[in-house]
């Protein structure tokens, strides 16, 4: 690629705006989808020359949009997840999909453990009580349960699930897991998701983002009034209405969430939901992991335009 003949790349979402400078420095001509007031005009004009889309994988990309870009050959997801992309449709239409697999697994696992500690031991609640001047000596006489000896159930034993399991072993927690496909592991696989939920004191959801509604009302109820659910997967993996109802009624003890059905989630939705710690989808983004994911995206773009095998194709 030369500066006189740059390849056209489309940034799909405004959260990726900081990548424009990196892509321009690499010699690409960058278009910003969110700034196109007339999508039809864009597709009939610059969209005809777009060869690749740099994408935030959880954002829905409609096949109808992709079908109107005849030269499109690659969707490069900066994220690990790619649940917003219809991969089978792309495959059928000759469009490759890549992602940043495994690069932020440790950071996401750290966040999951942090959420578990925060909600299980009441760290945020304690901080709020102290700052509000509501700390009394009787607070120390209302102890909480230790994590030691409690069972951690991992839903989805991929890169992140394994990293969570390794960390929780250090807390002397027995580990079990469930996923739709058996795999070799030193941890025991439960017979079913419901069986895992029943035996888990803390259920940590690390499933793929396309597992919509996997954590249903029966699964939530199986965790029970003394149990905890942590979600660092995708918001749609949990029936969020059922989760909120269970927390309000006391059928579920606690929850720590980094992802939500709608993002940003409406704050009013959580005002009267007890025993929760909520973070704004920040588990996977650190000053160390983001540059690695950007670098992987750039490498996949380079290989695509050079006609080389892609570094991290989905399903590869």
Percent pLDDT > 90 in the chain is 92
pLDDT at position 4: 54
pLDDT at position 210: 86
- Report how far Cα 77 is from the mean position of its chain's Cα atoms: 13
| pLDDT mean over 26-46 | 96
On the question of pLDDT at 194 being above 90, the answer is yes
Tokens of 286: 């650190």
The CA-based angle 232-238-240, given to 5 degrees, is 110
Judge contact between 234 and 259, C-beta under 8 A: yes
pLDDT at position 241: 98
* HEC-encoded secondary structure of 18-73: CHHHHHHHCCCEEEEHHHCCCHHHHHHCHHHCEEEEEECCCCCCCHHHHHCCCCCC
pLDDT in tens, 258-306: 999 999 999 999 999 999 999 999 999 999 999 999 999 999 999 999 9
pLDDT in tens, 53-89: 999 988 999 999 999 999 999 999 999 999 999 999 9
Confidence grade of residue 52 (pLDDT, cut at 50, 70, 90): very high
Judge contact between 36 and 10, C-beta under 8 A: no
The catalytic residue positions are 234, 263, 281
Confidence grade of residue 315 (pLDDT, cut at 50, 70, 90): confident
> Domains of the chain (ranges plus CATH)?
8-102+287-306 (3.40.50.720), 105-278 (3.40.50.720)
pLDDT at position 137: 86
pLDDT in tens, 131-180: 999 999 887 778 899 999 999 999 999 999 999 999 999 999 999 999 99
pLDDT at position 72: 98
Beta bridge partners of 204: 154, 230
DSSP, collapsed to helix, strand or coil, labels residue 86 as coil
Longest dimension (CA), the chain: 73
Tokens of 250: 């006391």
Averaged confidence pLDDT in the chain:
95
| pLDDT mean over 95-109 | 96
On the question of pLDDT at 3 being above 50, the answer is no
pTM over 0.75: yes
Query: Does the bond joining 264 to the residue before it have cis omega, within 30 degrees of 0?
Result: yes
DSSP, collapsed to helix, strand or coil, labels residue 155 as strand
On the question of pLDDT at 236 being above 50, the answer is yes
The CA-based angle 180-112-286, given to 5 degrees, is 115
Judge contact between 57 and 38, C-beta under 8 A: no
DSSP, collapsed to helix, strand or coil, labels residue 272 as coil
pLDDT at position 223: 98
């Amino acid at each position: 690629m030369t500066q006189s003949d740059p390849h056209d790349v489309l940034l799909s979402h405004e959260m990726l705006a900081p990548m424009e400078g990196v892509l321009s420095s690499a010699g690409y001509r960058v278009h910003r989808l969110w700034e196109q007031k007339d999508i039809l005009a864009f597709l009939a004009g610059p969209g005809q020359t777009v060869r690749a889309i740099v994408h935030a994988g959880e954002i829905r990309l409609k096949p109808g949009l992709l079908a109107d870009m005849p030269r499109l050959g690659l969707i490069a997801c900066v994220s690990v997840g790619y649940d917003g992309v219809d991969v089978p449709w792309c495959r059928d239409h000759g469009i490759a999909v890549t992602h940043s697999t495994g690069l932020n697994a440790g950071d996401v696992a750290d966040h999951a453990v942090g959420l578990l500690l925060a909600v299980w031991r009441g760290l945020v609640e304690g901080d709020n009580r102290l700052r509000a001047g509501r700390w009394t000596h009787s607070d120390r006489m209302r102890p909480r349960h230790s994590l030691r000896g409690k069972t951690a159930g991992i839903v989805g034993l991929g890169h992140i699930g394994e990293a969570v399991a390794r960390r929780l072993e250090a807390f002397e927690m027995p580990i079990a897991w469930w996923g739709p496909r058996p795999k070799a592991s030193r941890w025991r696989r439960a017979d079913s998701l419901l069986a895992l939920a029943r035996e888990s004191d803390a259920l940590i959801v690390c499933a793929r983002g396309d597992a919509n509604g996997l954590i249903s009302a029966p699964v939530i109820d199986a965790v029970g009034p003394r149990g905890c659910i942590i979600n660092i997967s995708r918001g749609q993996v949990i029936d969020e209405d059922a989760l909120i109802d269970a927390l309000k009624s006391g059928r579920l003890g606690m929850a720590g969430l980094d992802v939500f059905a709608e993002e940003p989630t409406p704050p009013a939705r959580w005002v009267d939901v007890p025993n929760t710690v909520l973070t704004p989808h920040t588990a996977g983004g650190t000053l160390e992991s983001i540059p690695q994911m950007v670098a992987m995206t750039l490498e996949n773009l380079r290989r695509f335009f050079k006609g080389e095998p892609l570094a991290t194709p989905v399903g590869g």
